[in-house]
Amino acid sequence: MTEEQQKEHFERMQMMCRTFQSAAEKYADFQPEFIASKSINDILQKSNTLTNEGFIEILKILTDIDLTKHKDGSQWYDYKIHLNALLGQKGYDSNIF
């Protein structure tokens, strides 16, 4: 994956986060997805190099949201597809589905 492809994945993740935020204003089931996606995006945005600590924090966020009632629709699945691609490119073996 090229740097341009990584950028495109992250831009889509940011767009989905904004969509979750907007939906959360009307539907409570979207709130956990907004919070999780915002937290994950913040971790990824802090530096170009993802640390092991950052990776572990991302996995914890994903585990926590799975234990919470949330919309869990196709857009959340799409968000995780983009996240999984980015993590793989950064050298982390993840299967977050």
Q: Specify the pLDDT at position 97.
A: 64
Token pair in block for residue 85 = 């691609």
Model confidence, pTM: 0.94
Whether 77 is in a domain gets the answer yes
Q: Specify the pLDDT at position 79.
A: 97
- The dihedrals phi and psi of 14, each to the nearest 5 degrees, come to -65, -40
77 vs 96, which has greater pLDDT? 77
In percent, the amount of the chain with pLDDT more than 70 equals 98
| Interval 50-80: pLDDT, tens | 999 999 999 999 999 999 999 999 999 999 9
Residue 7 has pLDDT above 80, yes or no: yes
Whether 94 is in a domain gets the answer no
Whether 66 is in a domain gets the answer yes
Token pair in block for residue 6 = 């990584």
Q: Specify the pLDDT at position 52.
A: 94
Whether 97 is in a domain gets the answer no
In percent, the amount of the chain with pLDDT more than 90 equals 78
Report how many domains make up the chain: 1
97 vs 24, which has greater pLDDT? 24
Residue 1 has pLDDT above 90, yes or no: no
**Domain, as residue range, for 10:** 3-89
